[in-house]
Structure 1
Amino acid sequence: VIGERISGGVGAVGILKSRDFSRKNIRKGMKIIMTEGNGGGTIATTAIFNGIPEVVTETFSFSDLLTCSLVRDSLADYVYSMTDVTNGGIRGDALEISRMNNLSLVIDDKKFISLINSRVYDMLKMLDIDPFGISIDSILIFTYKEDIVIDKLREHGIRSDVIGYVDDLKKYPIITIDGRELNPQFRESPYTPIKKYIGNNTKFSVEEISKRLDYAIEEAKRKIDDILKNLKASFT
Structure 2
Amino acid sequence: MDIEGFVRARIDNTNEETLKNVLAERIREYKDIDEERSLLMAQSVIDEVKTTLKVNESDDEFLKDIMAPPKADVTMGKMGVGSRGAGDFFVHRRIAQIVSSTNTASEVNPSAQDDGGVVKVPAKGDDVYVTTAVDGVHSRLSDYPFLGGFHVTRATLRDVCVMGANPVSILSDLHLADDGDVGKLFDFTAGVCAVSELLDVPLVAGSTLRVGGDMVIGDRLVSAVGSVGVSPYPPTARKGATEGDIILMTEGAGGGTITTTALYNGFFDVVWDTLNVSFVKASNAIFNNDLVKDIHAMTDVTNGGLRGDAHEISSTTGVGLKFDHEKIKSLVAPNVLNMLDTLEIDPLGVSTDSLMLIVPPEISDDVVKAVSDVGVKIDQIGIVDSEGSPRLVEEDGSETTLTPLFREAAYTKIKKLVGDTTPEDFEKMKDKVQKAADESIRKKERVIDYIRNNARS
Q: Whose relative contact order is higher, 1 or 2, with alpha carbons under 8 Å and at least 6 apart?
A: 1
What is the aligned counterpart of 1:35 among 241, 250, 260?
Answer: 250
**Residues of 2 paired with 1:206 and 1:109: CA distance?**
30
Closer, same or farther: CA 15–2 of 1 in aligned 2, 3 Å = farther
**Residues of 2 paired with 1:196 and 1:229: CA distance?**
47
Mapping of residues 35-184 of structure 1, within 5 Å = 35-74=250-289, 75-143=291-359, 144=361, 145-170=363-388, 172-176=389-393, 178-184=398-404
- Superposition deviation, residue 38 in structure 1: 0.9
Closer, same or farther: CA 192–222 of 1 in aligned 2, 3 Å = farther
Q: CA RMSD in A?
A: 3.0
- Report whether the alignment pairs 1:6 with 2:115: yes
- Superposition deviation, residue 186 in structure 1: 2.3
Consecutive unaligned residues in structure 2, runs of 5 or more:
1-105, 118-132, 135-158, 161-227
- Does the CA contact (< 8 Å) of 2:286 and 2:370 recur in 1? no
Identity %: 36
**Residues of 2 paired with 1:77 and 1:224: CA distance?**
38
- Does the CA contact (< 8 Å) of 1:106 and 1:166 recur in 2? yes
**Residues of 2 paired with 1:66 and 1:184: CA distance?**
29
Q: List per-residue Cα deviations over 1:150-192 (Å, max 9, x = no partner).
A: 122111111010000011134x433326312222212111112
Task: Please name the residue that 1:199 is paired with.
Answer: 419
Closer, same or farther: CA 16–154 of 1 in aligned 2, 3 Å = closer
Consecutive unaligned residues in structure 1, runs of 5 or more:
none
Mapping of residues 189-228 of structure 1, within 5 Å = 189-204=409-424, 210-222=430-442
- Does the CA contact (< 8 Å) of 1:91 and 1:174 recur in 2? no
- Does the CA contact (< 8 Å) of 1:3 and 1:14 recur in 2? no
Closer, same or farther: CA 175–205 of 1 in aligned 2, 3 Å = farther
Task: Say which is worse superposed, 212-221 or 97-106, in terms of deviation.
Answer: 212-221
**Residues of 2 paired with 1:120 and 1:77: CA distance?**
33
Closer, same or farther: CA 44–160 of 1 in aligned 2, 3 Å = same
State the TM-score, normalized to the length of structure 1: 0.85
- Does the CA contact (< 8 Å) of 1:185 and 1:206 recur in 2? no
Closer, same or farther: CA 19–136 of 1 in aligned 2, 3 Å = same
State the TM-score, normalized to the length of structure 2: 0.46
- Does the CA contact (< 8 Å) of 2:240 and 2:296 recur in 1? yes
Residue aligned with 1:141, SS = strand
Q: How many residues align?
A: 235
Closer, same or farther: CA 142–7 of 1 in aligned 2, 3 Å = same
